[in-house]
Amino acid sequence: NNYSSVVLIFLFSILPIFSNYNSALLRDPIFTAFVLLSLTFLYDICSSDASKLDDEKFFIKFILVLTLLCLSRNNGFFILIGIVGSLLLSYKRYFKKIFVLFIVVLTISNVTLFLPDNMNKEQLFQEKVAIPLQQIAFVLKEGGLSVEDLNYLSKLMPNNTMKLNYNPYNVDTIKWSPFFNREYLNDTKMQFMKIWFKNLIPNFESYLKAYFLHTYDLWSIKEFNREQTVFLGLDLRDERVTVYFDKLKHVDVFPKTLQSFLENYYEKFTVSLNGGSMFFILLIFVIICLQKRPKYYLIFIPFIFNWLSLMIACPLPHAMRYMCCFIYGLPILFLITFSNVKE
């Protein structure tokens, strides 16, 4: 309703983190836009008891949104699985329609893999094994690897360097180190995974510790690293950014008093809750929604599966950009959860 729209517009206007992400040259705001669009389609499906799927225009638009969701970030496919699985669970009578939707989205979103540029370009394997890398480095630091394993790792990165570079909360200190041989990892994927599997049982406790330390900000309500939550703090470490930022500071767009106020406001209040806190707030909304309007659980699926995908393979869990869709989505989900609309 109009009241809800005013509340959302005010909220998105007053908090600096929204305008900062809107202007950021990152894929995450684009990905977030398609997550939010998928939310609106799922809401319409729920409110119509899925009869909206019979509307050809709606169906085509839904396919388009889900395709763009998959193309905008790698974990979009994981969210697609969650959405399709939930739709099949809730609306079995539309099995054929939902299956067609899945196949069409899957086919279109993977067409780009066959473009000449992509076919000749090998993806960095390090981006897929952030957590295994952390676990191996943790065991290495504890002295739990065999001589054979150490010999292999020394070709990836000198053993002592990997020990010193290991940061339980940030794999970038290893995988983006100038001493890390990412080409060798690409050439020896199977060997790396064999070493990881071989050490799984004997070092199971160490693997668990490394996993929960790495994903700490995704499941804990106590944030570990505020640096990544304060959006401008991350950008201002880059000298190329600070040069332009300093120049902009001396450009008076508004009267000096207002300019000074806005600068301080943006620098101090571009903050957010950490990922774990936002996820637990989402769970509270889910519980309330299941009690009030059970079938509307579908609107939470894109967010839940985004979080699950990060818990499986997020390279930098405390970076707020990976939870960007939560920052934008929670206010909308709050209004839907506590609205007075009945079944």
Q: Which pLDDT value is given to residue 263?
A: 77
The pLDDT of 302-328, averaged and rounded, is: 88
Q: For residue 112, what are its two tokens?
A: 């780009």
The winner for highest mean pLDDT among 82-86, 181-185, 258-262 is: 82-86
Query: What's the average model confidence in pLDDT over 90-100?
Result: 95
Q: Which of 225, 218, 193, 233 is nearest to 310 (CA)?
A: 218
What is the C-alpha separation between 146 and 225, in angstroms, rounded? 33
pLDDT at 71: 92
Would you mind telling me the total number of residues written for the chain in this entry? 343
b/e sequence 215-236, b meaning 16+ C-beta within 10 Å: bbbbebeebbbeebbbbbeeee
Give the orientation angle of helix 324-337 with respect to helix 28-47, to 10 degrees.
20
* pLDDT given at position 343: 47
What is the residue-wise DSSP string for 168-220? TT-THHHHTSTT--HHHHHHTHHHHHHHHHHTTTTTHHHHHHHHHHHTHHHH-
Dihedral over alpha carbons 258, 260, 262, 268 (to 10 degrees): -150
Say how many C-beta atoms besides its own lie within 10 A of residue 103's C-beta: 11
pLDDT surpassing 90 at residue 2: no
Q: What percent of the chain has pLDDT over 90?
A: 52
Composition of the chain by helix, strand, coil, percent to 5: 75, 0, 25
- In this predicted structure, what is the pLDDT of residue 232? 45
CB 278 within 8 A of CB 330: yes
Structure confidence at residue 234 (pLDDT): 46
Residue 181's alpha-carbon distances to 139, 178, 196, 326, in angstroms, are 19, 8, 17, 35
Residue 333 contacts residue 300 (beta carbons within 8 Å): yes
High-pLDDT (> 70) share of the chain, %:
85
Residue 192: φ, ψ to 5°: -60, -45
| 205 compared with 10, residue with greater pLDDT | 205
Q: Each residue of 185-237: pLDDT tens digit?
A: 999 999 999 999 999 999 999 999 999 999 998 998 876 655 555 444 444 55
What was the pLDDT predicted at 132?
93
- The CA–CA distances, whole Å, from 53 to 64, 95, 105, 134, 250 equal 14, 11, 15, 44, 54
Mean pLDDT of the chain: 85
- With a cut of 90, say whether residue 27 has pLDDT above it: no
Confidence category of residue 258, pLDDT binned at 50, 70, 90: confident
Q: What is residue 24's predicted lDDT score, i.e. its pLDDT?
A: 66
Using alpha carbons, select from 153, 180, 150 the residue that is nearest to residue 165: 180
Helix (H, G, I), strand (E, B) or coil at 250: coil
Mean pLDDT within 51-63:
95
Question: Residue 242: its pLDDT value, please?
Answer: 64
Give the span between the Cα atoms of 159 and 152, in whole angstroms: 10
- Specify the range with the lowest mean pLDDT, choosing from 103-112, 260-269, 308-317: 260-269
**What average pLDDT score do residues 237-251 get?**
63
